[in-house]
Amino acid sequence: MEQDRIADLEVLLGFTFRDKSYLLNALSHSSIKSEEVPSNERMEFLGDAVLGLILSEALYRRFPNEDEGVLTRIKSHAVSRATLERIAAAMALDRFILVGKGVRKRAIPSSLLGNMFEALVGAIYLDSGLAAVRKFILRHLQVVVNEIVEDRAEKNYKSTLQQYCQREQGTVPVYKVMHESGSAHSRTFEVIAKMHSKEWGRAKAGSKKEAEQGAARAALIHLKAIDEKESDSVRGAGTLLPTPGLNDVPAKKKTRRGGRGRRRPSAEKTEAGAEAVEAPKAETKKKTRRSRGRKKSTAQTTETPSSPPTPAPANGEGAPRRRRRRRRRAGSGAKGSDSAVSQ
């Protein structure tokens, strides 16, 4: 690295290294790692611990009347990955990071800058001790701490969700990475938040920690534990994604027929329905009358005709019968007269 760039970075940091190798090590990404050039991952590990120690001491002295819960909340906000990435981006540290050609072709991910800030903390501590690194840390984090105290900083949704779940559901949330995409130096993480084996929130971001914050925020919104909307833009909480089973709302709610829960139709619908029902009924009555009339006429036409009267016998027919009747009458009359004479 050129001496001019090193001098510019030291001016930006407000600190001059006695041993420049610490600075070069803090700037070296794993993409250029070799036997001669180690990566900054070990120094990042050390810087994370030093950062937590210095800030914990500063909060302990500044807020003597606050309990450990409040101090923990402030610290977790101040040293969060999103906060460090924001500080590194504001300092334009991407101009000084040492990466391989494959990474340099693209925009430097913000997660790499946050890691490099922690590595620089470790480098300053190794070069000059606690006093020097304390001055560096407080100079850059004092504004963030003030924002947190005034409740204007990024919220720690994971901590809020954990407290809510422990209080209301007797459990703790579990975060799971569902999908990773992108190259090794520019990853995108999709994370879900689950409670009691049920998914309550989903989000994606350039770092796993930020995606977890987004998933926690989505879960809090679905649980109605915070007064926020999914459409609200929140820094450090990734991008919220639809949660299966929670965001899927049926187009029309089905109601049971009869019994409880049946909706009463409005007056307009009732009148319209009555008219629609009466019209077919009237038409049906007309058709019934017509069919009855047709059946009656058909029955009259198809009824069996009565037997015609027996025609009178022709001349001469029945004459012997009349003569026999006359003879019987005459015979009965003669017998009557004979009986009267004998008396």
For 177-188, write each residue's pLDDT tens digit. 999 988 777 789
> Residues 91-135: pLDDT tens digits?
888 888 888 776 665 667 777 888 999 999 999 999 999 999 999
Q: Over 50: is that where the pLDDT of 254 sits?
A: no
pLDDT of residue 263: 55
Please compute the mean of the pLDDT values over residues 233-256 and round it to a whole number: 62
User: Which CATH number is 88's domain given?
Assistant: 1.10.1520.10
Q: Are 67 and 101 in the same domain?
A: yes
pLDDT of residue 341: 41
Quickly state the pLDDT bin for 44 (edges 50, 70, 90). Answer: very high
Does residue 149 lie within any of the structural domains?
yes
pLDDT of residue 150: 72
Quickly state the pLDDT bin for 224 (edges 50, 70, 90). Answer: confident
Quickly state the pLDDT bin for 283 (edges 50, 70, 90). Answer: low
Q: Which long-range contacts (CB under 8 A, 24 or more apart) does 49-57 make?
A: 50/121, 50/122, 50/125, 50/130, 50/133, 50/137, 51/79, 51/118, 51/121, 51/137, 52/79, 54/130, 54/133, 54/134, 54/137, 54/138, 55/79, 55/137, 55/141, 55/145
Please compute the mean of the pLDDT values over residues 15-39 and round it to a whole number: 86
> Which among 154, 170, 196 is the end of a domain?
154
Distance CA 106, CA 96 (A): 15
Q: Comparing 10-14, 73-77, 296-300, which segment has the lowest mean pLDDT?
A: 296-300
Q: Are strands 198-205 and 239-240 parallel, antiparallel or unpaired?
A: antiparallel
- Overall number of domains in the chain: 2
Does residue 320 lie within any of the structural domains?
no
Q: Comparing 5-19, 75-89, 194-208, 326-340, which segment has the lowest mean pLDDT?
A: 326-340
Report CA 247 to chain centroid distance, whole Å.
2
Q: Are 188 and 224 in the same domain?
A: yes
pLDDT of residue 286: 63
Q: Are 143 and 46 in the same domain?
A: yes
Q: Are 10 and 146 in the same domain?
A: yes
CB 243 within 8 A of CB 201: yes
Does residue 63 lie within any of the structural domains?
yes
Q: Are 136 and 173 in the same domain?
A: no
Q: Are 7 and 135 in the same domain?
A: yes
Q: Are 53 and 146 in the same domain?
A: yes
Distance CA 17, CA 7 (A): 10
- The residue ranking higher by pLDDT, 86 or 129, is 129
Kindly give, in sequence order, each residue whose CB lies less than 8 Å from that of residue 54, ignoring residues fewer than 6 positions away: 130, 133, 134, 137, 138
Q: Are 52 and 190 in the same domain?
A: no
Q: Mean pLDDT across the chain, nearest whole number?
A: 77
Q: Are 150 and 187 in the same domain?
A: no
> Residues 47-77: pLDDT tens digits?
999 999 999 999 999 999 988 888 888 888 8
Please compute the mean of the pLDDT values over residues 154-161 and round it to a whole number: 80
Give the active site residue among 44, 85, 118, 212. Answer: 118
Q: Over 60: is that where the pLDDT of 323 sits?
A: yes
Q: Are 30 and 131 in the same domain?
A: yes
Does residue 269 lie within any of the structural domains?
no
Q: Which domain holds residue 165?
A: 160-240
Residue 227 a catalytic site member: no
Give the active site residue among 10, 48, 66, 94. Answer: 48
pLDDT of residue 293: 63
User: Which CATH number is 236's domain given?
Assistant: 3.30.160.20
pLDDT of residue 107: 67
Q: Are 10 and 137 in the same domain?
A: yes
**Which residue, among 115, 73, 82, has the nearest Cα to 234 in the 3D structure?**
82
Does residue 285 lie within any of the structural domains?
no
> Which among 154, 173, 205 is the end of a domain?
154
Does residue 260 lie within any of the structural domains?
no
Please compute the mean of the pLDDT values over residues 8-16 and round it to a whole number: 91
pLDDT of residue 282: 62
Residue 48 a catalytic site member: yes
> Which among 102, 122, 154 is the end of a domain?
154
Q: Are 67 and 142 in the same domain?
A: yes
Highest mean pLDDT among 5-9, 71-75, 127-131, 247-251: 127-131
- The residue ranking higher by pLDDT, 240 or 254, is 240
